[in-house]
Amino acid sequence: MAGATSTVKDRVAELRAAIEEHNHRYYVLDRPSVSDAEYDRLLRELQELEAEHPRLIEPDSPTQRVGARPADGFETVTHSIPMLSLANAFSNEEVAEFDRRLRERLDLDELTYVIEPKLDGLAIALRYEHGRLVLGATRGDGRQGENVTTNVRTVRSIPLKLRGNNIPQALEVRGEIFMERSGFEQLNRRLSEAGQKTFVNPRNAAAGSLRQLDPAITAQRPLRFYCYGAATEDGLPDTHLGCLEQLQQWGLPVSPEISQASGLEGLEAGYARLAERRNELDYEIDGVVYKLDSLDQQGEVGFVSRAPRWALAHKFPAQEEITRLLAIEVQVGRTGALTPVARLEPVFVGGVTVTNATLHNAEEVQRKDVRPGDWVVVRRAGDVIPEVVASVPERRPSAARPWVMPSNCPECGSAVEQVDGEAVARCSGGLVCPAQRRRALEHFAARSAMDIDGLGSKLIAQLVEADLVLSPADLYRLDEATLQQLDRMGRKSASNLVRALEQSRHTTLARLLFALGIREVGEVTAAQLARHFGSLQGIAEADAEVLAGVPDVGPVVAAHVQAFFAEPHNREVIEQLLAAGVEYEVETPRRPEAMPLAGKTYVLTGSLQAMTRARARAALEEQGAKVTSSVSKNTTAVIAGTQPGSKLERASDLGVTVLDENALLALLSSLE
């Protein structure tokens, strides 16, 4: 844990304890005490702290698992295949980004998906052997759950014996146990008449009913089950929809609302259809789930630590409420962007008390005609800061006046500039502005930038307030004696930070370029610029036309890059960084068209031993090759590892060259 301040350690421990408690209340006791948005905020804060301080990550951190430990009273079951959560989306833009990422990974113009209703119940795993139900287990923490087989057997919609032919010797299916609205109302009425405690909602009713230690009680509850997939693949088709159809033939119930869709338009249409039917259904759904239909494509895109890349839960808009807008304040971001923020009279929206909401920019404030003192509609759509949707003019006080963006920055007093064609107003103060300086330093020190372990936001705020750091270059002038004068900065912490700063002096051009905080230049773009030009000087001397020709750049980003290096102050900061000992290895510029494998296309299939498929893909792309997911007559070669799939047969049919892993290694070695 060296390199992290005691304050950070304490906060991490506090967050872990709170999240574990909320997990216990939600998953084990079925009595949640916070809203989903508040839980997500705590988890995101912990994720960010662990990303900034990777040495604090522990195997049992809530970020490394899905839910909570099983409750006492049930036997623990280890899932043969983990039951992961799904990533969430709350807007069409996030769905479009999901579709774009998958299309780029698979190198296809359009993808086929399956759309399912997102049931609000309890996830369950069912195992069948020789067609007979032998195990039912809850998700638990995603790796271990509770053995609720006896209770599961009381749910009449779950078959005890599968029907039909060609049933695999072992089959594990996943699905959701839920309670219909009508059954929920009847159950609560019965409990109330008996003087017993009622349930808050159908989801809690379903979870509480399934986890009764007395299965006779479970048998009396109106539980239902829908299957949404299989964890095993033996004897099943090679598409998700095909699997669901086969499972249904074997007697497992599947939601009739499931459909197939092509491309982004299909996803949007499916979402709209289920959103419209939401209130007509006799069970609760809180969104829809999109899944790649092809199991081969699912395997190719893989997983992140907590969720599959090939699936996304698109949540329905949360409820809206009306409250009073007390004031509109302005926040200043890293690039000087001024964002109006609504300060609200506290209001409970979608399970959380809201006091702040975003107003995006001055143009939005004017378009919505939102004024301090107004009654406004607030929507909570899963974000940390909810959104002000509109004002309620008929309830407007006579004293309410239109709001205008201040002409001077509230942080430093510098003039506010409005660039033609942009909706965002910006402070012109640059690093003179404390707010911009704080956020620029946070970005500079981030793990994906200069990776300065221990330099968190609170410490940066102190350094800025004391005027000890006026630009990123000043960080490298800090010594232990100076740092120990700051609050909560002891000798060991100061020593660790100085050591981290020293280590960060030696970096790559891509990291340094990203750390400089050039507008629109993310990690990928920074890597492309570094590979193309090889040095900061090469980038600084390039004109906009040359910059725009680099992959992932384009004219808008090119203009930002050119403007950044044309600013004397930015050049001065770079010179100071280099003078402070920050160094990077100068690369030989590598144009895609001049790379050894330029114009060649490869396809990977099967498992590789010496490297992962992701590393093999990166190694080929670094030499200018294109790596796709499908074999065609234009494919240069198929690289086949062990247990290759149907791509090998396709290559044989088309007469495409097939290389084994040794041939791949020899090819890459010859290019070094």
Give the number of other CB atoms < 10 A from CB of residue 34: 18
Neighbours of 421 (CB within 10 A): 5
Residue 571: C-alpha distances to residues 105, 539, 565 (Å): 37, 12, 6
Residue 568 phi/psi, 5-degree rounding, is -55, -40
Nearest to 280 by CA among 181, 202, 381: 181
Nearest to 316 by CA among 185, 184, 120, 183: 120
194: left (phi over 0), alpha (psi -120 to 50) or beta: alpha
Sequence letter at residue 627: V
Dihedral over alpha carbons 70, 74, 75, 78 (to 10 degrees): -30
Task: State both tokens at 475.
Answer: 């960080």
Catalytic pick from 118, 291, 626, 647? 118
Let me know if 118 is a catalytic residue: yes
Q: How far apart are the first and last CA of the chain?
A: 38
Tell me which DSSP letter residue 25 carries: I
Cβ 288 vs Cβ 117: under 8 Å? yes
Q: How far apart are CA 552 and CA 546, in angstroms?
A: 13
Neighbours of 642 (CB within 10 A): 10
DSSP letters of 614-640? HHHHHHHHHTT-EEESS--TT-SEEEE
Pick the closest to residue 539 from 564, 569, 515 (CA basis): 564
* Beta-strand runs (E) in 333-441: 337-349, 352-358, 375-379, 387-391, 416-418, 425-427
In 3D space, the residue among 297, 171, 174 whose CA is nearest the CA of residue 234 turns out to be 171
Strand (E) or helix (H) holding 227: strand 223-230
Enumerate the active-site residues: 118
